[in-house]
Chain A
């Protein structure tokens, strides 16, 4: 059982602002049903540009619903500029705190607000639109991860997961999240760390390293989910792999090949590596 404050329970059981406003001026949805939570925020502005009314519709757990309701309590009556300053901390604080693993619910509230404001200003919504999707399971971009790492001085992947859910699924993006954390820390600390340059590899060394990394780092992740991959060949810096088991018909396979496996190999072996999926060429087992 989650340890929710009375305020969370109250806003979950008796939300004040559920629904959608009529003819909204701003209408923003973040999250989706697959990820387990989603929030639609509708806003009515008055002539002075103040938030006259706002409502939410939320799919999610008790803390997601309570965070949505708290967000609306916080933005009502504010100008868009004032509302822009609201952070996920304000939402969590309003509720008397959230369990650590539920902080992403407050971040979802902040995201919906930022998205609505971006709409108001006719600007792209950077947290979704800009940057690269790092966590494929929950569709989280590096822009959002960087933002929470910076604003909350996060140092571990677990913390990033608590705030954004990134890394909470298959785990294949953990290395990428670690890299973002390292980059942000490097930036915020004075001067770059004396990072050792990776020595150039011979072909033989590269092949051996690729094999080792696939065996030790990549296959266990796939196997844990009922699938597998096979290293088929290494042609220059192109690594050819074939998917087996569950992975053979997984719809996420496209980005898994160069994204997940390639990312890991580029990180641990050689930056020039690309990964090619040759499952079909070998004739799918199924």
Chain B
């Protein structure tokens, strides 16, 4: 496929050219092990350190606070399991109903007592119809028994941004560890973790133009920590396993690139997203945006088209090489629409017809032009096929 219009960047991103070039030597001649005593391997430790510094610069933290992992899911699991391990007497976890499966399914397993008997008490905070949390709910959920509160920084499906600073402050007040899955936020929202009441934060490489298979976990200095992957001394004994040097270098390069492009993300990408959204709503009747537009990632819009089904929309877009995603049942592989839209109480009629466009700095005006030209006739066509429609 040559002419792909890629608007599914919350699913994954293209590996940036300079990122690929940065990692290439480590897949060729520079194959040494950073733990080795000989110069050939040992000097590679410096390259890993440089990458750690690059990630720390993007996050606004100290490099010693960055632990490399294999992916966002591993970071989430490590953070939550660490909190449980360091507070073994506490038997309560707090999450939200719209967390990524890496957090949500782990919390649900804890609540069912799978592998961790006795089972944990689990408070899953509801969200409003616009996808936002009520802060008093967070405060009410926290107690002496809470081992960890894990609330995402930004939602992957709607782009809704949560007030992590205020949530973190509430956690700190009650002495609860606060973890945030910031996989969608890093590189899109500027952050200085040194100034924030966040104990642990998850990063994923492939959401910011690094390859798949690399992630990071920020662990605030002084935060009690227990490793999940036990092995050698790597990552200051916080994560065993020989460093994935090429991927680590790639994440470093991607972090540096994201830092340089973050302003563009917040100006040009926002403008592209807003134009796309505005035009689609203007050209397609019975369409609505899911999630508040007041506090949202710069690149994401989630639009429901009533009376039709998301998979059909995606496959017709696919004919034009346009890549998006949907929270409809048929595309989730289950028979029910996405848990995020259900948690928001989006009516099934609208949830089934939801389409998410997630842009990146690589998208152009021409991409947006193409989508707003192609999609409205698709919506019209599918509505002609549908037995449902607006009540006359």
Contacts and interface: CB of A to CB of B under 8 A. Distances in A.
A13 B316 contact: yes
Contacts of B187: none
Interface in A10-61: 12-13, 15, 18-19, 29, 33-40, 57-61
A57 B122 contact: no
A36 B386 contact: no
Interface string B324-347: 000011110111110000010000
Interface residues of B, number: 33
Given A33-B349, A33-B352, A224-B108, A62 B387 contact: no
Contacts of B329: 36
A220 interface: yes
B184 to A, nearest CB: 22
Interface string A220-248: 10011010000000000000000000100
Contacts of A169: 335-336
A163 interface: no
Interface string A125-158: 0000000000001100000000000000000000
B334 A168 contact: yes
Contacts of A168: 334-336
Contacts of B311: 2, 61-62
B330 A36 contact: yes
B148 to A, nearest CB: 18
Interface string B103-147: 000001001100000000010101000000000000000000000
Contact of B348 (A33, A57, A60, A224): A33
Contact of A33 (B111, B315, B388): B388
Contact of B308 (A18, A35, A59): A59
Chain A interface bracket (under 10, 10 to 19, 20 to 34, 35 or more): 35 or more
Contacts of B112: 220, 223-224
B307 A59 contact: yes
Contacts of A95: none
A13 B309 contact: no
Nearest to B113: A220
Interface in B365-382: none
Name A's interface SS: mixed
Nearest to A12: B315
A161 interface: yes
Contacts of B3: none
B100 interface: no
A165 interface: yes
B312 interface: yes
A184 interface: no
Q: Which of B97, B315, B329, B352 is the most central at the interface, judged by chain A CB atoms within 10 Å of its CB?
A: B315
Interface in A52-107: 57-62, 64-65, 101
Q: Which of A29, A38, A59 is the most central at the interface, judged by chain B CB atoms within 10 Å of its CB?
A: A59
A39 B386 CA distance: 8
B385 interface: yes
B335 A60 contact: no
A59 B337 contact: no
B392 interface: no
B384 interface: yes
A62 B315 contact: yes
A60 B312 contact: yes
Contacts of A38: 387-388
8 contacts: A13-B316, A18-B385, A35-B348, A59-B387, A60-B309, A60-B312, A223-B108, A226-B97
Interface of B: 97, 108, 111-112, 122, 124, 126, 307-309, 311-312, 315-316, 319, 328-331, 333-337, 343, 348-349, 352, 384-388
Given A36-B335, A168-B334, 8 more contacts: A12-B315, A33-B388, A36-B337, A38-B387, A38-B388, A59-B385, A220-B112, A223-B112
Query: Closest 7 interchain pairs by CB?
Result: A168-B335, A61-B330, A57-B387, A61-B311, A40-B387, A36-B329, A34-B348
